[in-house]
Each structure stands twice: as C-alpha cells, then as structure tokens.
Amino acid sequence: MNQLALRSKFNEVFQKEKLYFFAPGRVNLIGEHTDYNGGHVFPCALSFGTHCVFCKRDDQKIRLHSLNLPNKGIIETDLNNIAYDKAQDWANYPLGVIKTLQNHGYKLNYGFELLFWGDIPNGAGLSSSASIELATAVAMNSVFNLHIPQIELVKICQEAENKFVGMNCGIMDQFASGMGKENHAILLDCNTLKYEHVPLNLQGISILIINSNKKHSLVTSAYNDRRRESENALKALQTKLPIKSLGELTIEEFEANKELIKDPIERKRAKHAVYENQRTLQATKALKAGDLETFGKLMNDSHISLRDDYETSCPELDIIAEECWKIPGVLGARITGGGFGGCAVSLVKDEAVKQVIDTVGKVYQEKTGLKADFYIAAIGGPARPMAKIY
C-alpha cells in the first residue's frame, strides 16, 4: 500500500476527509452604492479570495479557525444553537450563512470544522466578508448535497449579512463572488438580478487596485446611515412618482422632481444614486465600444460624486485618486467598495503602471504617513469547490 492509498484509507476509516473550497473577492469598476438603490453595478471577481477547508465531525459541534486571525483562536458553537455574538468576531459571517440555511429549511446533519485562509487584504473593501460567506455556502451546498442553485446561494449570503451580522448591504458583493467569470465583468441590474458577463478587452491597459491601508468597518461606519438617507429620499419622491427604487429614474426625471426631497443631505444621496446608475450604463456601453477614455472619465466622475454627494470617501482615498489623475497614462481612478477607507481602482496604460506605483506611493506616504499597496488585478471565476486535499 503506497502513501496515497494509506491516506485515503485513513480518511475512509476515520471519516476525516478534508474538502477544499474557494470564493473570490471582488472589485467594482463603477456603480457604487447603487445596488441597494435598485440600480446597476459593474464588478468583477478577483483571482484572490478566501480558501476554506472542511472536515466532518461525528457530533454536532462547529469549530471555526482563521489563519489570518490566529489570535482569535478556535471559535466553537453547536450546530443546533447558532446565534450572533459580537465575541465571535469574524466567525459571525460563516455562522450567519449556516444559520440562514437552517432558517430556509436545509438540514445539516452533523458537525464540522472549517479552516479559513484569505489573501484579500483585511479591511480593504475588496469584499472579504462576502468571500467568506460564499466559501461557506458553497461548502455547505456541496458537502450536504443541498442542490441549491448558485444564484440562490448568493441571495442566502446577502440575507445572512443583512439579518445575522446586521450589515444592511446590497447584493453586489455576494453576486460578484458567486457569479464571477474569468476575464469578464458583470453588468448587474440589482432591481431584477438580470445580468450580463461583459468581456474586459482592455487593450494594453491594466486594472490597478491601490489599497490605502486606511481600514474600515462597514457595520460600524455610516454605511447603514447612507442606506437610510437614500430610502428617505425615495419615500419623498414616491409622494408624486410611481417608482420602487431610485435606480428607475433618469437624470432628467430626477432633476425635474428633486425638490420633493426637502432634506438637502438626502437630496444629495439621491442625486448620487441616480447619476451613478446612469454613469454605470454609459461606462459599460463605452467599454463594449472600446472607448476606454470615456470609461475612465466616468470613473473620475464617480469618485467626485462619492466624495461630494454620497460622502463615502475619505482624505486618504481622495489623495490617491487626485494623484492618479495627474499622471498621463491614467485613464481613470476612483474609490471602490463601501468607502470610509479601503481601496481605489484605476485604469492605467501598461507603460504607466510603474510611474503610478512609484509616484502615487511616494506622495501618499508623504501626505498621510501610510504606505499604499498596489495590485494589478487578475479577473477570476466564481465561488466553487476545489480539488480534495489530505
């Protein structure tokens, strides 16, 4: 009996077979804070994300451990007694998915151990939480033969983050992680979940992600406030207009009716949601036509709107975007993700990438005392089971 056969026999006898799953992070090229406002987004899955190893137990315990947060130790609970607990920290994300599956009537018949490791920078706004959720959901779906379509797993993960974790996010992050396609972005209508994979024919241009290393925590930030302000603006418009979301409005319709929104802050939030939705549609059209100059300009306009109207930027990300804009060869740069820290995304001609890294990195450190990290994005596939490991 060779070594591989011996390992296989061990797993057969002791039921310790380990299964491996992966879910990507995401970067949103344009269309920020439009998902929960019923508009369009344009994200793509990344090649890096969350790796998850599953190991079956013969009792009802769940034990979770993250190699990224070893000081948190092993977090343990019971399959039949899952509840949110702030002390569980990061583990509330996978536990929320498991509990939501149970709430939907899916049976998980035995306990298990989950080991996580992610190569998404923590707090960078590249959707590490959605990546953890999708890795967990794909694992549960595969191991327990739940036969849940991928699109339904996406919805379950969003529900888990909304109702279990308490983060009132839209569906974009989970959708990008669950439905990504290599070398494609996703044009998603968040009202209908109708989507289209759009090829990223960038013709000598790189997607450069710049991590400000200004950490953010969306649950404790003003993210939920922005959603509430947008909902209030929608209610004001609904006193006259038969709409269900801000994403249904054209710019002309908004401008003709914006005075219905009496609160000036709420009016600015609605303006961003409407204009950003239209920018996203225009940007996708430009990409399909090979007009990357227009795509980049729309990215810049998106950042300005997020800075001035939606107010989810921060001084650090403003510095990064503004320094990028000064460099020939940068088509566009903007904040990406929920905001209040995290990353910017830029479209940069290949020959200018080194100059951006050197120049922006130097100026950013001088002005903030922080060191920025730079990643040339590789666009990957969806959350999925991987090969078995032992």
Q: Is the pLDDT of residue 4 over 90?
A: no
| Annotation marks residue 173 as catalytic | yes
Q: With cut-offs at 50, 70 and 90, classify the pLDDT of residue 14.
A: very low
Tell me, what's the pLDDT at 128?
A: 87
Tell me, what's the pLDDT at 18?
A: 85
Tell me, what's the pLDDT at 127?
A: 76
Tell me, what's the pLDDT at 10?
A: 46
Tell me, what's the pLDDT at 8?
A: 57
Q: Is the pLDDT of residue 7 over 70?
A: no
The predicted-structure confidence for 178-216, as pLDDT tens digits, reads as follows: 999 999 999 999 999 999 999 998 989 999 999 999 876
**Token pair of 229 as six digits:** 């302000």
Its pTM surpasses 0.95: no
Count CB neighbours of 113 within 10 A: 18
Tell me, what's the pLDDT at 337?
A: 87
The predicted-structure confidence for 214-224, as pLDDT tens digits, reads as follows: 876 554 568 88
Tell me, what's the pLDDT at 16?
A: 61
The predicted-structure confidence for 241-251, as pLDDT tens digits, reads as follows: 999 999 999 99
Average per-residue pLDDT for the chain: 92
Q: Is the pLDDT of residue 330 over 60?
A: yes
Tell me, what's the pLDDT at 155?
A: 98
The predicted-structure confidence for 96-153, as pLDDT tens digits, reads as follows: 999 999 999 999 999 999 999 998 876 666 778 999 999 999 999 999 999 999 999 9
Q: Is the pLDDT of residue 315 over 80?
A: yes
Kindly state the greatest CA–CA separation across the chain. Answer: 79
Sign for the CA dihedral angle at 123, 349, 299, 378 comes to: negative
Tell me, what's the pLDDT at 358?
A: 98
The predicted-structure confidence for 17-73, as pLDDT tens digits, reads as follows: 689 999 999 999 999 999 999 999 999 999 999 999 999 999 999 999 999 999 999
The CA distances from residue 51 to 20, 120, 134, in Å, are: 7, 10, 10
The CA distances from residue 144 to 75, 108, 140, 302, in Å, are: 22, 6, 6, 43
Q: Is the pLDDT of residue 333 over 90?
A: yes
CATH node for 3-197+380-385:
3.30.230.10
**Token pair of 213 as six digits:** 């290393």
Tell me, what's the pLDDT at 390?
A: 44
Tell me, what's the pLDDT at 34?
A: 96
- The phi-psi region of residue 342 (left if phi > 0; otherwise alpha if psi is between -120 and 50; otherwise beta) is left
The CA distances from residue 349 to 80, 324, 346, 354, 375, in Å, are: 53, 12, 10, 10, 14
Alpha helices in the chain (DSSP H): 3-14, 92-103, 128-143, 150-159, 172-179, 223-237, 251-257, 264-288, 292-308, 315-325, 353-368
Of the candidates 173, 225, 309, 373, the residue annotated as catalytic is: 173
Tell me, what's the pLDDT at 11?
A: 54
Q: Is the pLDDT of residue 388 over 70?
A: no
Q: Is the pLDDT of residue 13 over 60?
A: no
Q: Is the pLDDT of residue 88 over 80?
A: yes
